[in-house]
Amino acid sequence: MILAATGAPAPDAGRPDPLDMRQYRIEQLPVRAKGKFERTLAVIGIPLAIVLFILFAFVIKLPFLQGIDPATLSSDAAKKEFAAMGSALFSQHNGAMLAIFLASMALWVTGALPNYLTSLMLIVALVLTGVLTETRAYAQLGHPVMWLNIMSFVLASMLVATGLAKRLALWLILRFGHTARSVFLVFIVLNLALSAFVSATTAKAAILLPLFMVIAAIYGARPGGGRTNFGRSIVLQNLLDINLGASAFLTGSGANLLAVAIITGAVGAKIFFTDWMLAMFPVAVGLMLIGYVLALRVFFPLAPEERAPQVEGGMARLREAYDALGPVTRKEVRAIVLFVLILALWATDRVHGVSPTAVAFLGGIAALLPRIGIVEWNEVDIPWHLMLFSAGAYALGAGLDATDLPSISVNAFFNHLGIGQQTPFWALYVMLTGFMLFSALAFESKTMRAMIFVPIAIGVANRFGYTALSLALPVAFLIEHVYVLPFNSKPAALLYETDRYSLGDTFKYGFTMMLVSWVTIIVAGETWFRVLGITPHGVFGLF
């Protein structure tokens, strides 16, 4: 069977079959050749990181990090650290934290080292400089969001192992994807459906990648055959939709949950699954449709020959593959039931109070139970190198929390500019959402951005007398906009390896969508979010 994940070999053993999904497995993707600009960045990355670390750890002493007033600290962890070590040592730790942060950014942005190796280095640097204790630094691998990601990969593997993901995807494409343009709309639906169930964007990318690569091959974008607008569009639209789909649901990614945990701790009120979905689902769908129009009308218009299948048999071969799946199996039925139960528990968290991570735990355990379960452990595909990278990002966030570097920097910034207490809400809203959105161009981790910018938004709201929710939640809504450059997120790095598009392609399309998203979130803040009671003068007051 051509499309089976573990089926018979391709019909022609002499050359790869473009419809054989096995060649698109993550571990079998070819190592992507770096362009001249990327090679240059990689060369300067390590020296730049070393210089930045030495300068900010030992040479440059920023004035606002010296003689810190403990009354200005917003982080409880930072207050404890200050009380334990005194002003001088605390300021020294802030300098070390800034040096580690900048050096890590240099390595992540330039790609000079694998991202997981950079994470391991920064974890031990935080320990050796005394910014974090060994217990706190090493414990980040056991962060609750890490467990949510692991359980999400278990559940995603269940979808793949049972064939349910392929059955759903093939059915949607065969039922609604009769033209090239309609195929893109089908993937919007698929991304939204998976986002409601799978809390790891990388897991979603892993599920969808073989399918849209097969579709790309059907429409002429074959491995080694050069880049086409169909290939560019289907991969970049899926990258956009994977992230926008995650922004539609509280459980769309661990970073969303982390941001909500930070906000909840500050405002003392819970934010539920349905609250987040009501606010962001329509916004996400609207942005997906705008991305679809811009891709096909502006950036990657399809040539006439790309609008019809170019592989012999075309969609008929997908029909063949779908028919070969046979009737729905008992395992698939159990998988459907389990996912419906998980979604129901997430959607009713306001009633029972069980956290999304605990629900995912229960789902993962049920999926792995012997005899009555759905998937075996050796069928679970967990990318541990990405887990190590995430652990480093969480450790960096913990270091920023312990030193309160973001809050100290924000206060110093506002004091330097002489911005007074009468600053209008809309000005702060525009500024903070812009900082959060465009910070994705320089940051590798959504979790780290959540740990930096959500507390900053809370601190700004407190400083100017606005509710923390009114600024922090819109900032949190923008966590998932990480689709411009390959190093901006794990799915972006993964899909870049397909070699279906260039760095210029992803930048011009992704940056335009960032600008559109900024305008959209500003308009939503003045309209829909006001109706919901997120921003001031709300009507419903749901939050």
- 301 by DSSP, 3-state: which? coil
Q: What is the greatest pairwise CA distance in the chain?
A: 73
Cα distance between residue 105 and residue 110, in whole Å = 8
Per-residue pLDDT for 195 more than 70? yes
Q: Is residue 121 a part of any domain in this protein?
A: no
Average pLDDT over residues 319-326: 82
* Token pair in block for residue 511: 């940056």
And the tokens for 8?
A: 């018979």
Q: Is 296 domain-assigned?
A: no
Higher pLDDT, 243 or 222: 243
Confidence of residue 4 (pLDDT cuts 50, 70, 90): very low
pLDDT at 68: 81
Q: Answer with the residue of higher pLDDT: 417 or 530.
A: 530
In a domain, residue 307? The reply is yes
Which of 2-11, 85-94, 424-433, 465-474 is least confident? Answer: 2-11
Contact status, residue 236 vs residue 292, Cβ threshold 8 Å: no
How many domains does the chain contain in total?
1
d(CA 521, CA 505): 24
Q: CA 90 to CA 68: how far, in whole Å? A: 8
Q: What confidence tens digit (pLDDT) does each residue in 294-307 have? A: 999 999 998 887 77
- pLDDT value of residue 298: 92
Asked if residue 392 belongs to a domain, the reply is: no
Residue 233's domain comprises 144-253+303-379
* Least confident among 88-97, 308-317, 440-449: 308-317
Q: Which of 130, 136, 91, 88 is nearest to 408 (CA)?
A: 91
Q: What CA–CA distance (Å, rounded) separates 509 from 294?
A: 8
Assess contact for 387 and 126: CB atoms under 8 A. no
Q: Is 508 left (phi over 0), alpha (psi -120 to 50) or beta?
A: alpha
Is 469 exposed, middle or buried (CB count within 10 Å of its CB: 0-12, 13-18, 19+)? buried
Confidence of residue 1 (pLDDT cuts 50, 70, 90): very low
Average pLDDT of every residue of the chain: 80
Q: Rounded to an integer, what distance in angstroms lies between the CA atom of residue 278 and that of residue 248?
A: 9
Q: Average pLDDT, stretch 302-319? A: 71
Instruction: Tell me the percentage of the chain whose pLDDT exceeds 90.
Output: 19
The stretch 487-510 carries a mean pLDDT of 83
Residue 449 in any domain: the answer is no
For residue 409, what are its two tokens? 């920097």
CB 410 within 8 A of CB 461: no
**pLDDT score at 420:** 63
pLDDT-derived band at 538 (thresholds 50, 70, 90) equals: low
d(CA 543, CA 538): 10
What is the pLDDT at residue 2?
35
Task: Say which range, 432-436, 444-448, 499-503, has the weakest mean pLDDT.
Answer: 444-448
Q: Is residue 493 part of a domain?
A: no
Neighbours of 381 (CB within 10 A): 17
Contact status, residue 149 vs residue 86, Cβ threshold 8 Å? no
pLDDT of residue 28: 53
Domain membership flag for residue 150: yes
Q: Is 156 in contact with 149 (CB distance < 8 Å)?
A: no
Amino acid identity at 30: P
- 19: pLDDT confidence band, cut at 50, 70 and 90? very low
Q: How many CB atoms lie within 10 A of CB 427?
A: 11
DSSP letter assigned to residue 30 = P
Inform me whether the pLDDT recorded for 416 exceeds 50: yes
Q: Which residue has the higher pLDDT, 87 or 419?
A: 87
Is 158 a member of any domain? yes
